Structure 1
Amino acid sequence: MKPASPGDMLTADQCATILKALADHTRLRILESLLIEEKCVTELVRQLRCPQPHISHHLRILRDAGLIEGLRDGKQVCYRILPRVQRVLANRQGRALNFGCCELRFPEMVLAGMGHTR
């Protein structure tokens, strides 16, 4: 699923898929972590202190919602925010993701980790 570009509107089903993907504490923590920098599954497991299958499950949901992508690096898979989602973030001065159906704002702490200031 493609997140909306600024000015685009998502269908109700697309919006619901994104909102479901973001409606979990672990998935929000993963998304916030990936906003700071690309990370491999092992790094996310260590950072979030969750079992690998749990992290992989949540990564799949975020990937299926069109928010992140996995890139294989040998035996490891590293994840990053999709470039088009990063562009949407950049278009909001690094403060929010606007999906057309809703806007997600990030805590100042996350923005500081990304190098953005208000």
Structure 2
Amino acid sequence: MGTVTKQHSQINRVTNSSNTVICRKCKSNQVVAIKRGYSFKTMFLVLLSMIAVFFILVLVSILTSPFTGIWTLTALILFLSLPISIFCGFIGRNSLVNGCMNCGNKWIAGKK
């Protein structure tokens, strides 16, 4: 029985020392590289932040004396918020992400 465990530990050392990718969460070797696509999360975060800036500028312009520069700035932010957020969704779409087929854990390739 002792030789079986020695052989098993030697096999584990050999497979771990090679250039195989292992999941950090479940230690499985069933890892695939996935090309990232469009990021809806980034798009919505940028859109919501630009709309929040729009509402803050509207509140500032209402509470202070009327200044036409703030109204043009708020109109510009409202007009450009959707196109800018759509383009921000494309950021990082060609990068590779490692994904474990066993547990579903995902991480960016090359980062520790």
TM-score, structure 2 as length reference = 0.23
Q: Which structure has the greater CA radius of gyration?
A: 2
Higher relative contact order (CA 8 A, sep 6+): 2
More strand by share: 1
TM-score, structure 1 as length reference = 0.22
